[in-house]
Structure 1
Amino acid sequence: MSHSNAFEESAWPFDAAINAASFTTKYVLDGSLPILEVYHDHDGDWQFMCGTTNASADAKVVCLGCMIDCDPTLVQLADLPEGWLAHRESPAQPWARESYEDSDAANEA
């Protein structure tokens, strides 16, 4: 099923496609919690999390463009390298960035 997003596709800043799958929580999608953690996984996937849950029952898969529609400040993270995360205390605070270790690689060691 095709759908549109609120921004101009010609201005898309991410390397991933607008309709690329990304991960979030049901609380972010229903608007009850803000996005406070963003992970650009080592495999290139994006996760937009509320910081309260990582339970699979709370997980949702949505297109990357819909996440940007949900929170336009995420455009600031388009250049976040793979294997890095960004976090903030509240939506009014700036994003802080840092690298993180690939948990899959750590489990293989």
Structure 2
Amino acid sequence: MYVFTTRFVIENKSEVTFISHDEDGDWQFMSDDKSEEEDARIISLEEMIAHDSSILELADLPLGYQAERPDKFSKWTIFKSE
């Protein structure tokens, strides 16, 4: 399985602070960094978990939901996508 993220998360090791499980089944793992289209990266889910295993807390996040947190050590806040 492949997921969407940014160069900031993978290359700069920024913390994942936002996760989206889109209605179409896609997963997005983002940081607080302001990103542009050219910053997008597609990686394997295994690579994403190796980068930040705390995302496994949201493995059962339903389609159409998102989660955010201020930093890696905070709890996730889960909400339905608009």
Q: TM-score range by the shorter chain?
A: over 0.9
Q: Which is richer in strand?
A: 2
1:52 aligned residue: 33
Larger radius of gyration: 1
Write the deviation string for residues 64-86 of structure 1: whole angstroms up to 9, x where unpaired.
Answer: 11101100001000000010001
> Aligned residues, how many?
82
- Which of the pair has the greater relative contact order for Cα pairs under 8 Å at 6+ separation? 2
Structure-2-length-normalised TM-score? 0.93
Counterpart of 1:63 (choices 44, 50, 54) is: 44
Tell me which residue corresponds to 1:79: 60
Say yes or no: does 1:92 pair with 2:73: yes
- CA RMSD after TM alignment: 1.1
1:53-98 residue CA offsets vs partner (Å, 9 max, x unmatched): 3421100000111101100001000000010001000111011100
Percent pairwise identity: 35
Q: Which runs of 5+ in 1 are unaligned?
A: 1-19, 102-109
SS of the residue corresponding to residue 63 of structure 2 reads: coil
